[in-house]
Amino acid sequence: GQQLNQSPQSMFIQEGEDVSMNCTSSSIFNTWLWYKQDPGEGPVLLIALYKAGELTSNGRLTAQFGITRKDSFLNISASIPSDVGIYFCAGRIQGAQKLVFGQGTRLTINP
Amino acid sequence: KAGVTQTPRYLIKTRGQQVTLSCSPISGHRSVSWYQQTPGQGLQFLFEYFSETQRNKGNFPGRFSGRQFSNSRSEMNVSTLELGDSALYLCASSTDYLNEQYFGPGTRLTVT
């Protein structure tokens, strides 16, 4: 069944706005990964998080490993047209030998 | 370092046929995972190979199979294709399955 809830499912914003999305679960995670996928391409790894409370940046992107270890957040500052795409979270559940993926957040930027 | 490569990028097959997809991982990566991506189901895990052994498997029927060679390259086979098998098939490589996974561009399979 679904173990990761990613929200929002879609976002429509104006260029220059900041973006926030998150993934939550009832399970405890050891690792969080954030990916971006452009149409017709494979997901590209943006940020990896390994410790509760960890805050990591990659340019205008910042992701955090929630202190409860059940959630993670991704923020994009000052969005630009090339930020358009689908953002996925993925995580390793504690004690489980598998990665689980969120359903994705589709980001659209209005000109 | 070269990224993950997948061939072919696009494929059109007829119901009942079989298909083989190929994945070459990043040099030094021994784990290769396969995923099926559809608009309705998102990313679904198929299986993972490490050092030529299948270590992890998702909930797909036996028509989906794979293998890994000694150079870590992997192939995925789907037999008796069904219309519902139309999807983007992605492979991802990593140093180990639960570490950071790097995806290839995918193979777009269309079954008619």
DSSP B29-74: --EEEEEEEETTTEEEEEEEEETTEEEEE-S--TTEEEEE-TTS-E
Identify the bridge partners of residue B67 per DSSP, sorted by sequence position.
B75
Interface membership of B98 toward A (CB under 8 Å): yes
Average pLDDT, chain B: 94
B39: tokens are 């608009």
What mean pLDDT do residues B28-55 have?
Answer: 92
Which pLDDT does position B88 carry in this prediction? Answer: 96
Distance of alpha carbon B68 from alpha carbon B51, whole angstroms: 7
- Closest C-alpha to B91, from B53, B45, B42, B38: B45
Distance of alpha carbon B15 from alpha carbon B13, whole angstroms: 7
Which pLDDT does position B16 carry in this prediction? Answer: 98
pLDDT of residue B98 exceeding 80 = no
What number of residues does chain A have?
A: 111
pLDDT tens-place string over residues A27-84: 999 999 999 999 889 999 999 999 999 999 999 999 999 999 999 999 999 999 999 9
What angle is formed at CA B75 by the lines to CA A2 and CA A105, rounded to 5 degrees?
A: 30
pLDDT of residue A95 exceeding 90 = no
Q: Percentage of residues in chain B with pLDDT exceeding 70? A: 98
Which region holds residue A59: left if phi is over 0, alpha if psi is between -120 and 50, else beta? Answer: left
The shortest CB-CB distance from A104 to any of B42, B90, B98 is to: B42
Give residue B42's pLDDT band: very low, low, confident or very high (50, 70, 90): confident
Which pLDDT does position B13 carry in this prediction? Answer: 98
Q: Percentage of residues in chain B with pLDDT exceeding 90? A: 86
Which pLDDT does position A96 carry in this prediction? Answer: 77
Least confident of A89-98, B6-15, B23-32: A89-98
Give residue A1's pLDDT band: very low, low, confident or very high (50, 70, 90): very low
Q: Do B108 and A40 touch (CB under 8 A)?
A: yes
Q: Which residue has the higher pLDDT, B25 or B39?
A: B25
Chain A residues within 8 A of B101 when measuring between CB atoms: 33, 45, 90, 99
The shortest CB-CB distance from A33 to any of B42, B97, B100 is to: B100
What mean pLDDT do residues B37-46 have?
Answer: 88
Which pLDDT does position A94 carry in this prediction? Answer: 86
Residues of A with CB under 8 A from a CB of B: 31, 33, 35, 40-45, 48, 88, 90, 92, 97-99, 101-104
Which pLDDT does position A98 carry in this prediction? Answer: 77
Q: Do B4 and A42 touch (CB under 8 A)?
A: yes
One-letter amino acid at A100 equals: V
Interface membership of B42 toward A (CB under 8 Å): yes
Identify the bridge partners of residue A2 per DSSP, sorted by sequence position.
none
Q: Tokens 């790097």 belong to which residue?
A: B102
What mean pLDDT do residues B33-40 have?
Answer: 91
Which pLDDT does position B1 carry in this prediction? Answer: 67
| Cβ contacts of A94 within 8 Å, gap of 6 or more | A27, A28, A29, A30, A69
- Closest C-alpha to B54, from B64, B42, B68: B68
Which pLDDT does position B96 carry in this prediction? Answer: 79
